[in-house]
Chain A
Amino acid sequence: MTSDLKHTMHHTSTGSDALAPHQDFPAGHNPGHAAAQGGGRVGAGLFDPKQLLTSLPEAFRKLDPRVMVKSPVMFVVEIGSVLTTALAVTDPGDWFGWAITAWLWLTVLFANLAEAVAEGRGKAQAATLRKTKTGTVARRLLNRGTQGAEERVPGTELRTGDLVVCEAGDIIPGDGDVIEGVASVDESAITGESAPVIRESGGDRSAVTGGTKVLSDRIVVKITAKPGETFIDRMIGLVEGAARQKTPNEIALNILLASLTIIFLLAVVTLQPFAVYAGAEQSLIVLTALLVCLIPTTIGALLSAIGIAGMDRLVQRNVLAMSGRAVEAAGDVSTLLLDKTGTITYGNRQAAEFLPVEGASEKELADAAQLSSLADETPEGRSIVVLAKEKYGLRERHEGELAHAEWVPFTAQTRMSGVDVDGVKVRKGAAQSVLAWVTGKGGHAPGDAERLVAEVSEAGGTPLLVAVEEDGQDGTAARVLGVIHLKDVVKEGMRERFDQLRAMGIKTVMITGDNPLTARAIADEAGVDDFLAEATPEDKMALIRHEQADGKLVAMTGDGTNDAPALAQADVGVAMNTGTSAAKEAGNMVDLDSNPTKLIEVVEIGKQLLITRGALTTFSIANDVAKYFAIIPAMFAVAYPSLDDLNFMRLASPESAILSAVIFNALIIVALVPLALRGVRYRPLSADRMLRRNLGLYGVGGLIAPFAGIKLIDLLISLIPGVG
């Protein structure tokens, strides 16, 4: 009935498909994970201390220098460990040498452990995915047609372009597009969501993924991916971290860390001639200990774990990032293109009020509106019935009650629908059509009908005119009763969310197929910064290019084939899993839940990743100050007793001081593993407030914490007999 509105709806309306899970905005979380996240925003992934134990063998495997060399800071520590081991072996009676050696090895091991734990979480998921891959049998069609003889071949033998048939109960053998039929498909194998989704030929819901299960009906699928390159294969690679490459910012940070390492290496190497002159020649073990304490081991150890965990946080939210680069870019995004339907509004227009014309009562209008909508199964039609019931207490009549009712369906030509019952004809539909119907029946169009229609339109709503023709005293007369105000309902909490994004410096642009008037009204109501009305894919593309020319990074979601160019052009393109293969190929992320709202979370995860990296780097460097105050007096107070003034922590002995610093340096890595995996707490704040907060926490905290930590460890060590 009211499907006369459909043409104005944006083509990505599949996002609001009733079967698509997770429309639970504003939380936006996958409910399955909500508990684990402690109800926070972005943040939280689980960290189970047991993971440390299970990852231990992998941590040992990573001691291989060919693996270690990829992390320059930790590679230096490993070389140092080898050196001290050799020195300890030559002087086996020296407990101090052995203790330092042991803790240096532990430092390396802890770093590997952090990485192994981060990877381990993906491995479990990959194992589940692998199970879905094995042993699928494909029913390949022999002829090029969609009917006819088929043969059974292993899924791994399928080639691009092959046509396969899948019926209820079949596992879809490979990625492809439905070219015939419609079916409900269980995609829980990849999305974790048990509610089935509809896949049909043509349109934007044609893509199917290998490993998912057809629940009903029969479809013919044209295979689009070679074996080994399917979506599941890529997913396995991604969650395992096998395909992980260092991201641009990670590379830049590594360069900075490597250069700091070189500076400290110089500071330590050149120290020996100075020490010799001072009459306090240092053993190589002490110098190695000093070096390891100074180089930024904390961030060096955790850097790769932070990156893996960032990707993993996306995976936990059912978003697959095809590259780490995209996750980083998400943190930098300054323009978000959001589809109106499904993201900003619920997607279904709903009746908001009945506006009678002069001479008609509201109740009369509501009654007629309800009557005309009883057979209208569109969400809009249902909402009219609901409104009439809620607001005017009109009992819902059933089609069966009206025996003589003759339902007039909506057609594109008449642009209205209605019912003829008991000599009364009710019509509702587009204003022009209904007015034409009324005047055609000899009725008058009341002056205020047009005004009401215009008012509703200006407010961004959709006006439906209701008219009635009934037998009266002077024959039949057609007259207009009033207007139904259909409204696009903005989701709750959107305005707050956009305010937060604005505070973070992110501009939101609403994309809609609506006319500019409607678009503006919804944009104002939702609080977005800008909107693009009557948007075509070309308009979208032009908007992205325009923003990028100004140096801005753009993120968008899309699912249709005609979205593909824009998805490819955007810096962060999140393709909906329900979308076409072309869209999924073009984007650099895929949202398995097909929830366009998640774009906001993706941005937050990107930011959180960068903040975690920066915070731990700052913490790592700030730590060095305290270590100097522990080690330098320990090394030189013998030669220059005045330097004992620097030992204001009053550490027990030179040996215990140096050992405490080394132990603290190792333990802090383990202590920070949960933070690295979980990411620092993220709140959408302006840059200024965020910097103030993080500097206080990780900069000042990084200065102070090691003083306390080293003192504590020193106290414990000095309790060991023969040490203190």
Chain B
Amino acid sequence: MSDVLADVAQVSALIVALALVHRPLGDYMARVYSSKRHLRVERWMYRAVGADPDAEMRWPAYLRGVLAFSLVSVGLLYLLQRVQDKLPLSLGFKPIDPDQAFNTAASFVSNTNWQSYSGETAMSHLTQTAGLAVQNFVSAAVGMAVAIALVRGFARSRTGELGNFWADLVRGVVRILLPVCVVAAVVLVALGAIQNFAGIHTVTTLTGDDQHLTGGAVASQEAIKDLGTNGGGFYNANSSHPFENPDGASNLLEIFLLLVIPFSLPRTFGTLVGSVRQGYAIVAAMAGIWLAGVVAVTWLEFAHPGSASQLAGGAMEGKEQRFGEGGSSLFAVSTTMTSTGSVDSFHDSFQGLSGGVLLFGMMIGEIAPGGVGSGLYGVLLMAVVAVFLAGLMVGRTPEYLGKKLGSRQIKLAACYILITPALVLTGTAAAMATGNGQSSMTNTGAHGFSEVLYAYTSASNNNGSAFAGFGADTVYHNTALGLCMLLGRFLPMVFVLALAGSLAAQTPVPATAGTLRTDKPLFTGVLVATIAIVAGLTFFPALALGPLAEGLAV
């Protein structure tokens, strides 16, 4: 019972910390994105890329910025991996194969951080720090920039201008991600994470085998890995590795870092649209879903049915003793629902139904609270759909934050919500139909199917975690999953920015007593129901054949 109490205390502490921080951080981010000032270091960067940070962009220009920047990033990261043996700090590692290099480049630029490699035995120090870690920052900042552009679409009127992509990108990195990361990295080092450029240590284990331990800039990458909802660990074992995540305290800190920006952005949104209550309605929906997930998974893990776990006194397979069932469940739900994908335990070892909850957390589109930026724009898109349905029921053509939701807006929102389900379902189906899914499974039956479904769900939603055991490093999966990641990241952005442009051009409709109140608990409920029903209906058959078939069989 004390386990349960400890877990309740842990979750409560986390919620209190988030509640305390979201307000100053959210307001700070609102100021960052609406500030007219440029820091000197920022001016240098603008000069370096030849951008005018004060030029307002309409949505096509903003989108061009996003796509051009990301395309160049994919190219550079691919190149860096292909020639890492010829560059300094190579640690003697070979160049990465083309398919894996493409997969990794797509993965880090799309903020997915799906890893079909083992970091400590494949990537050089230079690739890790100048390539992967840099993308951890900028890919996160791109997501935040797009979210802010959408918020401006709601906040502005009678203009098509959404701000300046370069300014938003640079500020996201320089003023938000970097400062928090510096502090977080120092705290992580203090808690025992490592930070060095050391080579490979070879140690002899108790059984007499040799073990190779790679050092590196772990704490710093750990900080941005979580803060930027990236998830790509320095080590293959990710946050279950003691160098990355030494103990329960660092575990809780990492969970906090995962959640802090996504849970603070609704405050930023509320501030920028001039009503913090609007932000609270959104954050309440996010928090409600997240908390339901935490409770469900924790309960299922503690219940640990099945004779093996009953004998062991806990469902501890695939989990670290130092985190236990509670810390592992909390991390697992938080990482899957934030599109982070870092893990401190192996999701494939969770109870069948728990695995279903984790899958569902991604299937709802990574919006509870979702990735940095992508969570906010994802949930706002769902809010548009929810308003459209509920708005009709109050007898007006739907409007959200004073903006009419006509056929153009609904077309864009509908395209957005189509993309990831289409990628997940066709990706999984193609893998299964071609036999590539089966050949990469390490389990049979429903659980084997869950591995494939999880892989394509994770990649398409830019999560990056996996049901461990799935053999992802094949040419087929590297390519297919790489495409899922890129399309799952950038196609939605096209529609988000187009929507932002169409909203910004509108004349706002004043709110009256006849207007649907979108800052009330009732709307939060409608939003949660819309999210759950749309995703539930889309994925119910697939879930039934995977985690439900497995979980109900116990």
A691 to B395 Cα, complex, angstroms: 9
Stretch with Cβ within 8 A of B (4 or more), from A205-213, A586-594, A641-649: A641-649
Which residues from 220 to 271 on chain A have a C-beta closer than 8 Å to any C-beta of chain B? 248-249, 251-253, 255-256, 258-259, 262-264, 266-271
Interface residue? A60 (CB, 8 A)? no
A274 proximity list for chain B (CB < 8 A)? 428-429, 432, 449, 541-542, 545
B549–A608 touching, CB < 8 Å: no
B397–A256 touching, CB < 8 Å: no
Residue in A251, A552, A642 whose CB lies within 8 Å of B553:
A642
Stretch with Cβ within 8 A of B (4 or more), from A468-476, A498-506, A532-540: A498-506
Interface residue? B330 (CB, 8 A)? no
A622 to B406 Cα, complex, angstroms: 23
Interface residue? A275 (CB, 8 A)? yes
Query: When A262-B418, A632-B541 are in contact, do A617 and B513 touch as well, CB less than 8 Å?
Result: no
A332 proximity list for chain B (CB < 8 A)? 396-397
Interface residue? A95 (CB, 8 A)? no
Query: When A255-B410, A270-B428, A687-B517 are in contact, do A614 and B433 touch as well, CB less than 8 Å?
Result: no
Residue in B410, B425, B520, B533 whose CB lies within 8 Å of A267:
B425
Which residues from 499 to 541 on chain B have a C-beta closer than 8 Å to any C-beta of chain A? 507-510, 512-517, 520, 522, 526, 529, 533-534, 536-541
B533–A625 touching, CB < 8 Å: yes
Encode contact with A along B474-515: 1 for CB under 8 Å, 0 otherwise. Answer: 000000000000000000000000000000000111101111
A267–B395 touching, CB < 8 Å: no
Interface residue? B415 (CB, 8 A)? yes
Q: Chain B: which residue is nearest A617 at the CB level? A: B389
Interface residue? B136 (CB, 8 A)? no
A614 to B414 Cα, complex, angstroms: 17
B149 proximity list for chain A (CB < 8 A)? none
A259–B415 touching, CB < 8 Å: yes
A676 to B256 Cα, complex, angstroms: 50
A618–B393 touching, CB < 8 Å: yes
B516 proximity list for chain A (CB < 8 A)? 687, 691
Interface residue? A43 (CB, 8 A)? no
Residue in A267, A273, A606, A614 whose CB lies within 8 Å of B393:
A614
Interface residue? A103 (CB, 8 A)? no
B432–A294 touching, CB < 8 Å: no
Interface residue? A101 (CB, 8 A)? no
Interface residue? A390 (CB, 8 A)? no
Interface residue? A695 (CB, 8 A)? yes
B509–A694 touching, CB < 8 Å: no
A686 proximity list for chain B (CB < 8 A)? 513-514
A460 to B507 Cα, complex, angstroms: 38
A248–B537 touching, CB < 8 Å: no
Which residues from 654 to 702 on chain A have a C-beta closer than 8 Å to any C-beta of chain B? 682, 686-688, 690-692, 694-695, 698-699
Interface residue? A611 (CB, 8 A)? yes
A271 proximity list for chain B (CB < 8 A)? 541-542
Interface residue? B326 (CB, 8 A)? no
A278 to B471 Cα, complex, angstroms: 20
Q: Chain A: which residue is nearest B542 at the CB level? A: A274
Interface residue? A328 (CB, 8 A)? yes
A682 proximity list for chain B (CB < 8 A)? 395
A331 to B395 Cα, complex, angstroms: 6
Residue in B396, B544, B545 whose CB lies within 8 Å of A331:
B396
Encode contact with B along A609-629: 1 for CB under 8 Å, 0 otherwise. Answer: 011011101100110110010
Query: When A621-B533, A643-B549 are in contact, do A687 and B526 touch as well, CB less than 8 Å?
Result: no
Interface residue? B552 (CB, 8 A)? yes
Residue in A253, A334, A640, A699 whose CB lies within 8 Å of B549:
A640
Interface residue? B385 (CB, 8 A)? yes
Q: Chain B: which residue is nearest A503 at the CB level? A: B513
B393–A695 touching, CB < 8 Å: yes
B449 proximity list for chain A (CB < 8 A)? 274, 277-278
Output the least CB separation between A256 and chain B (Å).
5
A610–B407 touching, CB < 8 Å: no
B426–A551 touching, CB < 8 Å: no
A687 to B522 Cα, complex, angstroms: 11
A275 proximity list for chain B (CB < 8 A)? 545
Number of interface residues of A (CB under 8 A): 76
Main secondary structure of the interface of B (DSSP, over half): helix
Output the least CB separation between A530 and chain B (Å).
14
Main secondary structure of the interface of A (DSSP, over half): helix
A-B contact count (CB 8 A): 216
Interface residue? A11 (CB, 8 A)? no
Interface residue? A636 (CB, 8 A)? yes
Encode contact with A along B253-295: 1 for CB under 8 Å, 0 otherwise. Answer: 0000000000000000000000000000000000000000000
B438–A252 touching, CB < 8 Å: no
Q: Chain A: which residue is nearest B427 at the CB level? A: A270
Query: When A259-B415, A334-B510 are in contact, do A610 and B545 touch as well, CB less than 8 Å?
Result: no
Interface residue? B21 (CB, 8 A)? no
A334 proximity list for chain B (CB < 8 A)? 509-510, 512, 514
A688–B517 touching, CB < 8 Å: yes
A251 to B414 Cα, complex, angstroms: 13
Residue in A611, A640, A646 whose CB lies within 8 Å of B394:
A611
Query: When A551-B509, A643-B549 are in contact, do A622 and B426 touch as well, CB less than 8 Å?
Result: no
Q: Chain A: which residue is nearest B554 at the CB level? A: A642
A636–B549 touching, CB < 8 Å: yes
Interface residue? A48 (CB, 8 A)? no
Interface residue? B391 (CB, 8 A)? yes
Which residues from 65 to 95 on chain B have a C-beta closer than 8 Å to any C-beta of chain A? none
B391–A614 touching, CB < 8 Å: yes
A504 to B515 Cα, complex, angstroms: 8
A688 to B514 Cα, complex, angstroms: 8
A251 proximity list for chain B (CB < 8 A)? 407
Interface residue? B215 (CB, 8 A)? no
Output the least CB separation between A337 and chain B (Å).
16
Interface residue? A550 (CB, 8 A)? yes
A278 proximity list for chain B (CB < 8 A)? 446, 449, 545, 549
B541–A691 touching, CB < 8 Å: no
A667 to B392 Cα, complex, angstroms: 25
Output the least CB separation between A40 and chain B (Å).
16
Which residues from 448 to 482 on chain A have a C-beta closer than 8 Å to any C-beta of chain B? none
Output the least CB separation between A97 and chain B (Å).
21
Output the least CB separation between A290 and chain B (Å).
8
A442 to B536 Cα, complex, angstroms: 94
A-B CB proximity, top 4 nearest: A614-B392, A505-B514, A505-B512, A607-B395
Chain B residues engaging chain A, CB cutoff 8 angstroms: 385, 388-398, 402, 405-407, 409-411, 414-415, 417-418, 421-422, 425-426, 428-430, 432-433, 437-438, 446, 449, 507-510, 512-517, 520, 522, 526, 529, 533-534, 536-542, 544-545, 548-553
Q: List 18 A-B contacts (CB under 8 A).
A: A249-B398, A256-B388, A262-B418, A263-B421, A263-B537, A267-B425, A331-B396, A608-B395, A613-B392, A621-B389, A625-B533, A640-B549, A643-B544, A643-B552, A692-B522, A694-B394, A695-B390, A695-B526
Chain A residues engaging chain B, CB cutoff 8 angstroms: 248-249, 251-253, 255-256, 258-259, 262-264, 266-278, 290, 294, 328, 331-332, 334, 502-507, 549-552, 606-608, 610-611, 613-615, 617-618, 621-622, 624-625, 628, 632, 636, 639-643, 645-646, 682, 686-688, 690-692, 694-695, 698-699
- Contacts A267-B425, A506-B512, A551-B510 supplied; 17 other A-B pairs, CB < 8 Å: A249-B397, A249-B406, A252-B411, A256-B385, A263-B537, A264-B538, A334-B512, A502-B513, A503-B513, A551-B509, A607-B396, A632-B540, A640-B549, A643-B548, A687-B396, A691-B390, A694-B394
